Amino acid sequence: MHCRELTKPDGRALYLYSRSPIDRRIVATNPPHPISKPNPHLRWHPLRGEWVVYASHRQDRTFLPPKEYSPLAVSRSAEFPTELPQGEYDVAVFDNLFPSLTLSGEDPEREIVSTRPARGHCDVVVFTQNPDTSLGGLPVDHIALILEVLGERTRELGSRKDIQYVLPFENRGVEVGVTLHHPHGQIYSYSFIPPVVARMQKMAKEHFSQHHQSLFSDLIAEELNASRRVIARRASALAFVPVCARYPYETWVAPIRSVPYLYELEASERRDLAITLKTVLSKYDRMWNRPFPYLLTLYQAPTDGEPHPEAHSHFQIYPPYRTRDKLKFLAGTELAAGVFVNDSLPEEKARELIDVECPVYE
Amino acid sequence: MHCRELTKPDGRALYLYSRSPIDRRIVATNPPHPISKPNPHLRWHPLRGEWVVYASHRQDRTFLPPKEYSPLAVSRSAEFPTELPQGEYDVAVFDNLFPSLTLSGEDPEREIVSTRPARGHCDVVVFTQNPDTSLGGLPVDHIALILEVLGERTRELGSRKDIQYVLPFENRGVEVGVTLHHPHGQIYSYSFIPPVVARMQKMAKEHFSQHHQSLFSDLIAEELNASRRVIARRASALAFVPVCARYPYETWVAPIRSVPYLYELEASERRDLAITLKTVLSKYDRMWNRPFPYLLTLYQAPTDGEPHPEAHSHFQIYPPYRTRDKLKFLAGTELAAGVFVNDSLPEEKARELIDVECPVYE
């Protein structure tokens, strides 16, 4: 992987990644925007025992612009700069112009609950220069490069003392609230371990101390043995609708080997993971012959400096549809109680996905 | 409050409630439907440490029928029975035809994770016979009656040994996934304490053991003192956008006195709570001159037989809009990490709601 680190005229960082060497003459750009110093802050939610982020500058963020004004398109000319400079490269990562978390936050006003600067970092990850494709539509090599980029960003961000957790994710489709159509993901880096992650850590640690094995690895072994929910399989990676899917078409994509962080994978494992991920995303799009929206998230171990033998890095994908024309809404029981109701059986949805014809990627 | 308990031809229970005596000649009805014995089950989600409900019979539930086929409309004639019989009454409660939880569940098949029958109960609460109004549009007396009904159902359901938590809620609007437009709520009764409730219990108990005061009562005192987020106030009830709002227009409506269960309120307190709730819901609808969607939920203490001096019964309302034309989507950070990002300040949204003109209800 080739990488170049640049600084945008407005001071934000830009990283370019490519499978081939990157032209050293490329200069970082940014679209014109009013100068702002975002200062998001945290407030403690005493009833739920969790932090809530307040980022009021985000109300002004770019919302579904027409294609010719996309800030993620490659700059067409020096007069119309965007977030992406002209030149040859595969993937670009830069500081979000409207970050929910920043490393430079100042102390917020006092409130009746505890407050803090919303420290952390928000990356935008542009998957490709092509605005008309998708993560799953990219060649295997290109997806493998993206996985490498997510791993490297996790390593870099996670090495900071003030970053405890790095969360790469992709929101795809207006159904999940996407505000820019160009294929891209994001990386949120938190100064604390988020509550969902803390809960998952707790469960994984309990299992590990009892069984001396990663909980996720044990689950994989059982899913492989049961086999009926496995929708893609390579030597070192697999994809399955988990036995406990909360969303009808929920799919998990994982390396077989238990690694706490994505950057610990060998190139061959990363390639298998890319192929498996591409297979799932291709099946999604082929099922109803239209782009299939989802939230895709990469879970890794916290970057809190502790060893995490219990962690097994993997992707979880949550599609919002429950049938071709009906969305699964999160409502009373899900949002107020935290109890998900799934109107379908994971085995049945897995069968639908298994049956979708799809090329064998290599 | 007058109440009659009836049995539908298909065996489900029907409760009618009214401010005046109910005609004893009313006979329970139900729409024709194929006989089904729902058998939802639970599977353990080992990574998150929570139960997930599988209710595949719910795929066939009635979805946004035209008004003349609404199962919640009053039966027009003996040939076209609905869930609601003809006759005078204010509120009807009956067993959901498509329950996510049932008291009669049989053991599910074994799986690679723990499974259990999805024990519990699902009520439908029809707020009024009028299909063209809303909870907030009803007269104060009628809303007070609904609060009494929610309280009584909590008492009855909660008295069962196999019910640990009773959750009344209303999903209002297609934006939050409503499948029937007639004004109605639901009550989910769980055989376990749901994860969100368990977390809130933990926080409330810790505070209580330290301060000998309910956490929520202390928060109310501070919100009243700060005053800028209070949008409605009566002698024994208040409504405010909480300092830690996760949704831009989130509002909490509560009695001032700390009671673990709604049924413990005096009639005058219930009336104040009804007036306060009506004020908030009216302001919502008046703000943009259109029905304002929301998820409304009533938190009470668990019904696990333990005393709960730490609990303070109250409503939390989560509207899905962040501006007049933009929804707040739950995406990467909210769903994958559990960290909510609010693009607005609770003080600002409270000010908007305070400024909405609305009659003074008595």
DSSP A250-282: -EEEEESS--SSGGGS-HHHHHHHHHHHHHHHH
**Which of B273, B281, B277 lies closest to B235 in space, CA to CA?**
B273
* pLDDT recorded at residue B61: 66
Polymer length of chain A: 362
Q: Tell me how crowded residue A2 is: count the other CB atoms within 10 A of its CB.
A: 13
ipTM surpasses 0.90: yes
Q: Could you read off the pLDDT of B216-271 as tens digits, one per residue?
A: 999 999 999 999 999 999 999 999 999 999 999 999 999 999 999 999 999 999 99
Q: What are phi and psi of A119, to 5 degrees?
A: -75, 145
Task: For residue A180, name the pLDDT band (cuts at 50, 70, 90).
Answer: confident
Please tell me the predicted confidence (pLDDT) of residue A329. Answer: 86
Boundaries of every domain in chain B: 2-195, 211-355
SS3 of residue B339 by DSSP: coil
Question: For A148-177, what is the mean pLDDT?
Answer: 95
- Of B64, B89, B63, nearest in space to B75 by CA: B89
Number of Cβ atoms within 10 Å of the Cβ of A151: 23
Residues of B in contact with A50 (CB under 8 A): 338-339
Per-residue pLDDT band for B37 (boundaries 50, 70, 90) equals confident
A241 three-state secondary structure: coil
Residue B38 has pLDDT above 80, yes or no: yes
> pLDDT band at residue B34, thresholds of 50, 70 and 90?
confident
Among A301-310, B85-94, B321-330, where is mean pLDDT lowest? B321-330
The C-alpha of A122 sits at a distance from chain B's nearest C-alpha, in angstroms, of 11
Cα-to-chain-centroid distance, residue A243: 22
Q: Does domain A2-194 have CATH number 3.30.428.10?
A: yes
Give which of B97, B158, B146, B90 is closest to B124, Cα–Cα: B97
pLDDT of residue A64: 67
Q: What pLDDT is attached to residue B136?
A: 97
Q: Which of A86-95, A172-181, B44-53, B134-143 has the lowest mean pLDDT?
A: A172-181
Q: Which pLDDT belongs to residue A33?
A: 84
pLDDT, one tens digit per residue, over A20-74 is: 999 999 999 999 887 777 889 999 999 999 999 999 876 666 666 776 778 999 9
A329/B contact by beta carbon, under 8 A: yes
Q: B328 contacts in A (CB within 8 Å)?
A: 177
AA letter at B249: Y
φ/ψ (deg, to 5) at A209: -70, -25
> How many angstroms separate the CA atoms of A87 and A165, rounded?
33
pLDDT surpasses 90 at B2: yes
Backbone dihedral angles phi then psi of residue A300, each to the nearest 5 degrees: -135, 180
Output the pLDDT for position B204. 98
Put simply, the answer to whether A329 touches B176 (Cβ < 8 Å) is yes
**Mean pLDDT of the residues in chain A:** 94
Question: Is the CB of A208 inside 8 Å of chain B's CB atoms?
Answer: no
State the CB neighbour count (10 A cutoff) for residue B346: 26
Which residue of A53, A204, A335 is in closest CB contact with B339?
A: A53
φ, ψ of residue A357 to 5 degrees: the values are -75, 140
Band of pLDDT at residue B174, cut at 50, 70 and 90: confident
Nearest residue of A to residue B175, measured between CA atoms: A329
Q: Which residue has the higher pLDDT, A351 or A60?
A: A351
In this predicted structure, what is the pLDDT of residue A14? 98
By the 10 Å C-beta count (0-12 exposed, 13-18 middle, 19+ buried), A64 is classed as exposed
3-state secondary structure A155-185: HHHHCCCCCCEEEEEEEECHHHCCCCCCCEE
- pLDDT score at B100: 95
Sequence-distant (≥ 6) Cβ neighbours of residue B76 within 8 angstroms: B82
Q: What is the pLDDT of residue A286?
A: 97
- In the set B184, B207, B308, B312, the catalytic residue is B184
CATH number for B211-355: choose from 3.40.50.300, 3.30.428.10, 2.40.100.10, 3.40.140.10. 3.30.428.10
Classify domain B2-195 by CATH number.
3.30.428.10
Residue A343 has pLDDT above 70, yes or no: yes
The DSSP bridge pattern shows strands A50-54 and B326-327 to be unpaired
What does residue A54 show for φ and ψ, rounded to 5 degrees?
A: -110, 120
B84 to chain A, closest Cα gap in Å: 23
**Closest approach of chain B CAs to the CA of A41, in angstroms?**
10
- Alpha-helical (H) ranges within chain B are 140-158, 195-211, 215-226, 267-287, 346-355
Domain A2-194 identical in fold to domain A196-355: yes
Over residues A200-209, mean pLDDT: 97
Q: Which of A54, A215, A331 sits opposite B295 (nearest CB)?
A: A331
Chain B residue whose CA is closest to A225: B112
- Tell me B336's DSSP state: I
Name every chain B residue with its beta carbon within 8 A of the beta carbon of A330: 177, 330
**pLDDT of amino acid B64:** 67
Q: Does A110 touch chain B (CB under 8 A)?
A: no
The domain covering A196-355 belongs, at the CATH homologous superfamily level, to HIT-like (3.30.428.10)
CA closest to A298 among chain B residues: B336
Counting residues of chain B whose pLDDT is more than 70, the rounded percentage is 97
pLDDT of B159 over the 80 cut: yes
Handedness of CA B162, B168, B174, B175 (dihedral sign): negative
The answer to whether B167 and A337 have CB atoms below 8 angstroms apart is: yes
pLDDT in tens, A78-128: 888 999 999 999 999 999 999 999 998 889 999 999 999 999 999 999 999
Beta pairing partners, A102:
A119
The distance of A24 to chain B (nearest Cα, Å) reads 34
Taking residues B316-325, report their average pLDDT.
94
Please state the rounded mean pLDDT for residues A304-309: 95
Active site residue A184: yes
Question: A203 pLDDT exceeds 70?
Answer: yes
- Taking only the tens place, the pLDDT of each residue in B260-318 is 999 999 999 999 999 999 999 999 999 999 999 999 999 999 999 999 999 999 999 99
Coil, helix or strand for B223?
helix
Phi, psi of B360, rounded to the nearest 5 degrees: -85, 115
Q: Which residue has the higher pLDDT, B327 or B26?
A: B26
pLDDT at B65 over 80: no
Closest to A332 measured CA to CA, from B25, B19, B165, B215: B165
Residue B143 to residues A116, B15, B263, B298, Cα–Cα distance (Å):
40, 17, 14, 14
Of B287 and A327, more confident: B287
Q: Is residue B62's pLDDT more than 80?
A: no
A228, A229, A232, A237: CA torsion to nearest 10: -110
Q: How far apart are CA B324 and CA B327, in angstroms?
A: 8
For residues B148 and B163, what is the distance between their CA atoms, to the nearest angstrom? 20
3-state helix, strand, coil in chain A (%, to 5): 30, 25, 50
Mean pLDDT of A345-352: 97
Average pLDDT value over all residues in chain B: 94
Mapping DSSP to helix (H, G, I), strand (E, B) and coil, where does residue A357 land?
Answer: coil
Mean pLDDT within A290-313:
97
